A and B are shown apart, each in its own frame.
Chain A
């Protein structure tokens, strides 16, 4: 096992999320949520790996589905699991009216991510979600926002780290000879 700082957890997760196809803005959200998971759950790296690997199998909430949630109408599943990140982003960006809560959402993929993303708001999932692949969830309102703990680290197995790094590496550019020469630094030895 390798012990990562939470900043490393956040940075690696954001890069891996971008490498897995999430937009830059969503990748930032994922980095923050990953840090939150690492603080509270030893399985953050497995959660991150599942998210990166399954990113393409989810679908975002459709505008009509989002409208049903907001209007307090019963949710209708589509046959493909909902993307927990896109769902959380929607709920965070414009929290549901009080009369639409609690809200049951059907067939959410990797609900640990919906749970983690919502923790910075007054919304919570009712009950523990665990490492489920997809599940129906209930979003409810809490009076208080829990502050994340500090003084935690993110343990990760070497093989998982390598896989996440390979997702992150999709965002890197091999240096051209030209940029290597122009460089970030001088390319000359000390001359004083």
Chain B
């Protein structure tokens, strides 16, 4: 079997393609579902103390083979005018903690005084994740009142939105005093990327469904209906994600490399398969049909996304029409991918990557274990390298940036900064706003080219350590250049401070790795998504046959 080359970073790491990313079976929530199903995790309501309006507290305990984790949920009254997706909000309908173990009454009381305050509260190493979510008010109320009247809500309306509550932040890794990632990184069930965060969201999903059932039953104890199982399974949890998450991929280059390398390795493996077996064809057809149904319901008011979704629908129609012929060819999955490359939009091509991987769990799922990285090795600077070699490495790794003229104001139009009010990353207009002198080191292409120019002033045989002794301002760029030379998927191949930058492209790539769907950009810098829609409920995995897809 001849190997298929991985798609190179020049293709994979462009913003336009990142902005067309689709979730795959390697996405983090899928990895979590597979493990939970395999290990038959059990969930029970340890506490469900809500009043007639659904306000109060609940605890869901999850038993994994080695440990118990608990979602502690608080539901509180919220004035409509305070309900906002923005990170500057100060109150929410619901707040959550993923607790390490089973909380006692004192823990619950302590967290009830803090979790509803979110960032303004303070937490301990017993808390692994902190989150909050707001109701999709109109939909939530319509579902509650339909159920209270004894019937199921309108399916199309329900699926059009796709969730009852939407998270606006899910914090992990030591934020506001919660446990450091180091403390859980050695636990198999939470070792993978964002597994604690995904577990939290999966549990929140069950809480939102139980919450709406509870309110309906309290309104009409004798006659209320329970939300039907097929609707429960279809609903996910919404999420609104903004700029705060955008620098993550830049700041975690080794981790980013590990995610993309795993996905691209998986794609190359499947493309190298000589034939498509009956089971794989069947699984592919199911995945294609599922995606076409989802695309038909995929709504966004964003004109670019709406146009991209229309193109995607057309691409998938064409794929369905050519499927038998493509899969009859030698190396059928490669033929299918190359067909997509030749005929489809970027959105269609990346959807095909996801579809092609779907039937091939046995071949690729183990790559999920490689999608994590400690950034420590990237921290070491090889100062014994000479300046000439480092400059050449920069010119090679950043050849894509060579044509960017940073003297042109449009190439240098923006600057990333941290806002004094919210301590969150923001994007400023360099030539219109103050503060560019406090720019964060996220101008990757500009700094790489600047470093190459500075190195050109040095004797080629001079050592990098000596250069940095005189020019410490280049230290971050030297570190990055040496990382990118070793880890090719570590860098986004586009200008992150140009006038054309759409931060939602970065956000989408990261969220697709989480397993997000239904991307709905609300501007060039924030978007809404759905997580876990169509996936099993966590309370069902203990009794499901075999492994989840």
Would A172 and B432 be within 8 Å (CB), given that A185-B526, A189-B81 are in contact? no
A184 to chain B: which residues have CB within 8 Å?
Answer: 86-87, 242-244, 422, 424-426, 525-526
Tell whether, in the assembled complex, residue A5 and residue B178 are in contact, meaning their CB atoms are under 8 Å apart: yes
Question: Bound complex: CA of A183 vs CA of B243, how far in Å?
Answer: 8
Given A184-B243, A185-B84, decide whether A7 and B435 contact each other with a Cβ distance below 8 A.
Answer: no
Which of the segments B25-33, B45-53, B463-471 contacts the partner chain? B463-471
Partner of B125, one of A5, A22, A86, A173: A5
Residue in contact with B470 in the complex, picked from A63, A176, A187, CB distance below 8 Å: A63
Q: Is the CB–CB distance between B426 and A5 below 8 Å?
A: no
Q: B-side binding surface: helix, strand, loop or mixed?
A: mixed
Closest CB in chain B relative to A156 CB, distance in Å: 11
Let me know if B304 is at the binding interface, CB within 8 A.
no
Instruction: Answer yes or no: B218 CB below 8 A from chain A CBs.
Output: no
A61 neighbours in B (Cβ, 8 Å): 469
How many Å from the CB of B64 to the closest CB on chain A?
20
Q: Cβ of B137: which chain A residues have Cβ within 8 Å of it?
A: 190, 192
Q: Give the residue of B83, B420, B473 whose beta carbon is less than 8 angstroms from that of A190.
A: B83
Query: Total interface residues on B, using CB and 8 Å?
Result: 80
Knowing A173-B418, A186-B84, the reply to whether A60 touches B177 (Cβ < 8 A) is no
Q: Does B536 contact A (CB under 8 A)?
A: no
Complexed CA–CA distance, A23 and B384 (Å): 21
List the B side residues contacting A22 at CB < 8 Å.
472
CA distance A183 to B87 in the complex (A): 9
Interface assignment of B331: CB less than 8 Å from any CB of chain A: no
Report yes or no: B475 in contact with A25, Cβ–Cβ below 8 A.
yes
B80 located at the interface, meaning its Cβ lies under 8 Å from any Cβ of chain A in the complex: yes
Q: Which of B469, B473, B526 contacts A66 (CB 8 A)?
A: B469
Contacts of B463 in A (CB 8 A): 94
CB pair B161 A192 closer than 8 Å: yes
Question: Distance in Å from the Cβ of A132 to the closest Cβ of chain B?
Answer: 24
Q: Is B139 an interface residue (CB 8 A)?
A: yes
Q: Is the CB of A172 within 8 A of B526?
A: no
User: CB distance A173 to B174 under 8 Å?
Assistant: no
Nearest-CB residue, chain B, relative to A172: B420
What string of 1s and 0s marks CB contacts (under 8 Å) between B514-540 and chain A?
000000001101100000000000000
Q: State whether the Cβ of A51 lies closer than 8 Å to any Cβ in chain B.
A: no
Answer whether residue A159 sits at the interface, using C-beta atoms and an 8 A cutoff: no
The verdict on A90 contacting chain B, using a C-beta distance below 8 Å, is yes
CB distance from B475 to the nearest CB of A (A): 2
Question: Are A150 and B183 closer than 8 Å at their CB atoms?
Answer: yes
Question: Which chain B residue has the least Cβ–Cβ distance from A149?
Answer: B182
A25 in contact with B419 (CB, 8 Å):
no
Task: Mark interface residues in A66-103 (1 if CB within 8 Å of B CB, else 0).
Answer: 10000000000000000000100110111000000000
- Residues of chain A lying within 8 A (CB to CB) of residue B427: 179
In the bound complex, how far is the Cα of B177 from the Cα of A8, in angstroms?
Answer: 7
For B175-193 the 0/1 string (1 means CB < 8 A from A) is 1111111110000000000
Contacts of B42 in A (CB 8 A): none
Tell me the bound Cα distance from A63 to B471 in angstroms. Answer: 12
Chain B residues lying within 8 Å of A7, measured Cβ to Cβ, are 173-175, 180-181
Q: Is B271 an interface residue, CB under 8 A from the partner? A: no
Report if A190-B136 is in contact (Cβ < 8 Å); known contacts: A5-B177, A150-B182. yes
Which of A6, A86, A92, A186 neighbours the largest number of chain B CB atoms within 10 Å of its CB?
A: A186
Q: Is the CB of B421 within 8 A of A174?
A: yes
Residue of B nearest to A8 (CB): B174
State the Cβ distance, A172 to closest chain B Cβ, in Å. 4
B38 interface residue per 8 A CB criterion? no
Whether B418 contacts A183 by the Cβ 8 Å rule is: no
Q: How far is the CA of A177 from the CA of B423 in the complex (A)?
A: 16
Residues of B within 8 A of A94 (CB): 383-384, 463-465
A6-B469 contact given A173-B419, A178-B429, CB 8 Å threshold: no
Q: Is the CB of A174 within 8 A of B435?
A: yes
Q: 0/1 per residue, A1-45, Cβ < 8 Å to B?
A: 011111110000000000000111110110010000000000000
In the bound complex, do residue A23 and residue B475 qualify as a contact, i.e. CB atoms below 8 Å apart? yes
CA distance A92 to B125 in the complex (A): 32
Contact check, A92 vs B470: say whether CB atoms are below 8 A apart.
Answer: no
A175 with B472: in contact, given A92-B380, A150-B182, A185-B242 (CB under 8 Å)? no
Tell me whether A66 and B432 are in contact in the complex, defined as CB-CB below 8 angstroms, given that A6-B180, A150-B180, A179-B426 are known contacts: no
Bound complex: CA of A109 vs CA of B243, how far in Å? 40
| Docked complex Cα distance between A176 and B125 (Å) | 36
Q: Which of B87, B183, B434 contacts A185 (CB 8 A)?
A: B87
Contacts of A29 in B (CB 8 A): 379, 475
Contact call B441/A173, Cβ cutoff below 8 A: no
The docked-state distance in angstroms from the alpha carbon of A173 to that of B437 is 9
User: In this complex, what residue of A is CB-closest to B503?
Assistant: A184
The residues of A that contact B85 with a CB separation of less than 8 Å are 185-186, 188, 190
Binary interface profile of B, 476-488, with partner A (CB < 8 Å = 1, else 0)? Answer: 1111000000000
Q: Is B474 engaged at the interface, CB distance under 8 Å to the other chain? A: yes
CA distance A7 to B383 in the complex (A): 27
Scan residues 376-418 of chain B and give those whose CB is less than 8 A from a CB of chain A: 376, 379-384, 417-418
Instruction: Assess A23 versus B84: contact at CB under 8 Å? Given A3-B177, A172-B420, A184-B525.
Output: no
Asked whether any CB of chain B lies closer than 8 Å to the CB of A171, the reply is yes
Complex CA distance for A90 and B136, rounded to whole angstroms: 55
CB of B230 within 8 A of chain A?
Answer: no
A-B contacts, 17 listed (Cβ < 8 Å): A5-B179, A5-B180, A25-B476, A28-B475, A28-B476, A63-B470, A86-B472, A89-B475, A90-B383, A150-B180, A169-B420, A173-B417, A173-B420, A174-B419, A179-B433, A185-B86, A185-B87
The 6 closest A-B pairs by CB, nearest first: A25-B475, A93-B383, A7-B174, A5-B174, A173-B435, A185-B86
- Which residues of B line the A interface, CB within 8 A? 80-81, 83-88, 122, 124-125, 134-139, 161, 166, 168, 173-183, 240, 242-244, 376, 379-384, 417-429, 432-435, 438, 441, 463-466, 468-470, 472-479, 522-523, 525-526
Q: Given contact pairs A8-B177, A171-B418, enumerate 8 new A-B contacts (beta carbons under 8 Å).
A: A5-B125, A173-B435, A179-B419, A183-B242, A184-B426, A186-B526, A188-B84, A192-B137
